Structure 1
Amino acid sequence: MVKKPYVAAAVVAATALALSGCANNSAAPAGPQTTAGTGGVALVSPGKLTVCTHLAYKPFQYTDGGKIVGFDVDLMDLVAKKLGVTQEIVDIEFGQITSGAVFTAKKCDAGAAAITITDERQKATGFSKPYFASKQALLVKADSGITKLADLKGKELGVQTDTTGQKFAEEKAAEVGYTTKVYDDMPTGSNAVLAGTVAGSMNDNGVLLDFAKDNPTTKVVEEFDTGEHYGFNVGKDNAALATAIDEALDAAKADGTFNTIYKKWFGVDAPK
């Protein structure tokens, strides 16, 4: 989240960290047991690629009909197939994914949550190659009269905790003259715009454009080219999995599968 997705990730001493989450189809793997996966990739649970995400972040990962689906989900299914295992998804706090706490605690093998690659996050976790380019965006009520960030002077702007959108918005707050209100997830912040609780919401353009499409009384009025790119993250000690992710994505781009998945979720061909 420029997912995402996104802000400074502190390196967490997580040996005693208690984490909780709910999995897609079954409970998250318990305990620090590590087993060898296909091709020498270490997996926390045999036969499964356990992937941490933070719901909901449509169209990257969200629940539909009781099942977690999305662009990130389909891409990580390709990685699981390459390893000869199945994907298991754990919904958990975003900051615990970007900080690497989920990997230290052996809760997950990888993070797939529209995670913007930043210098701070790279100090805490390993990353795959970038797979998606993102911008920050401003969502407002369609009839609000707000057309740009500067129009929020004296108003309140919703942001999602631990994201680059929060960081970007807070850096601009004093200059523009608005205050920020922090929400735990993207839907809560966006729905606050619908309810009139806040004048606008700042988040990644992909998810806000999708939200506006589903909620036509809102619209994205401004986008900010922050040069962000998403990557899948892994534990610092699991470079083999990062390599396997890169190889799966490279193969999908070469045979057209990546473009098919991209078009499925965004309605257009993937950028070259």
Structure 2
Amino acid sequence: MRSLTRLAVPVAAATLLLAGCASTGDDDASPAAGDGEVTLLTEGKLTVCTNPPYEPFEYEEDGQVVGLDMDIVGAVAEDLGAELEIKITPFEGIQSGADLDSGNCDIVASGITITEEREAKMDFSDPYFDADQGLLVPAGSGIASVEELDGLTVGVQTATTGATFAADNALNVVEFEDLGLQIEALRNGTIDAVINDIAVLGPFASDDFEVGTTFPTGEQYGLGIKTGNTALLDAVNATLERIASDGTYEEIYTKYIGTAPSAG
């Protein structure tokens, strides 16, 4: 069995190239759609767009981007014989497919929930993480339900399923570009609560904050690939299958989530 250690990639990623990944050698070329041969935007590099801070999936540590998502795409790069290059971009361009369509990256990985609307804009890998929505509130506030948010101000992240959940429940919301800004607003009292994926809220539970409740939504995360790029999609799914079978996924999951994944 191969084990995957934490993949630490500088924010300004190096341009080292590794052999072994098929490419046209033309940086402007579009990836091959279905000939079975993976072609990357830049020869020898798998370029991923992501949007930290979104701990434990992608966040900066000692000037490098790490996290569960980064280890998984690192495993994809490893299987392709490619160097992983990370680009930090706004989540809107990631979830809308714009980063893929414009050739900004080969793959998007940023805790992206698979939805029908997004599937119309990109191809998704097999699901790799089950995710529900959660509510982060000031410790001792007693806020523990949607009903108790009536008349309060809730911070959501722009273009996320958390924002959709809040809108569907007619909540009074303020949108933020990323999770870090949500937490800061809660800390300084400009909002009363935060809604986001439960897995990213847990690390902020402390003397100041607590998770009020979880909203079961049945959401799952997937890695996004440009529509029609079946060669890369097949390669990504092959890696997901490989790391699930050889114990690597369990190792990654446990490292960042703190417990082993459920057997279900």
Bucket of the pairwise TM-score, normalised by the shorter protein: 0.7 to 0.9
1:256 corresponds to 2:244: no
Contact persistence 1:35–1:44 (CA under 8 A) = yes
1:141 corresponds to 2:143: no
Contact persistence 1:262–1:268 (CA under 8 A) = yes
Contact persistence 1:32–1:105 (CA under 8 A) = no
Q: Distance in 2 between matches of 1:227 and 1:24?
A: 35
Give runs of aligned pairs for residues 1-272 of structure 1, distance below 5 A.
Answer: 23-26=11-14, 32-34=28-30, 40-173=37-170, 178-212=171-205, 215-272=206-263
Contact persistence 1:128–1:232 (CA under 8 A) = yes
Aligned-pair distance for 1:32? 3.2
Q: Distance in 1 between matches of 2:12 and 2:135?
A: 31
Aligned-pair distance for 1:153? 1.6
> CA deviation digits over 1:161-185, x for unaligned, max 9?
0000000001102xxxx41011110
2:253 is aligned with what amino acid?
Y
Count of residue pairs the alignment pairs up? 241
1:255 is aligned with what amino acid?
D
Give the gaps of 5 or more residues in structure 2. Answer: 1-9, 16-25
- Residues 1:118 and 1:79: Cα distance change in structure 2 (over 3 Å): same
Contact persistence 2:127–2:221 (CA under 8 A) = yes
Task: Please name the residue that 2:23 is paired with.
Answer: none
Give the gaps of 5 or more residues in structure 1. Answer: 1-21
1:246 is aligned with what amino acid?
N
Taking only aligned residues, the RMSD between alpha carbons, in angstroms, comes to: 1.8
Q: Larger helix proportion, structure 1 or 2?
A: 1
Aligned-pair distance for 1:269? 0.8
Q: Distance in 2 between matches of 1:210 and 1:79?
A: 27
Contact persistence 2:153–2:174 (CA under 8 A) = yes
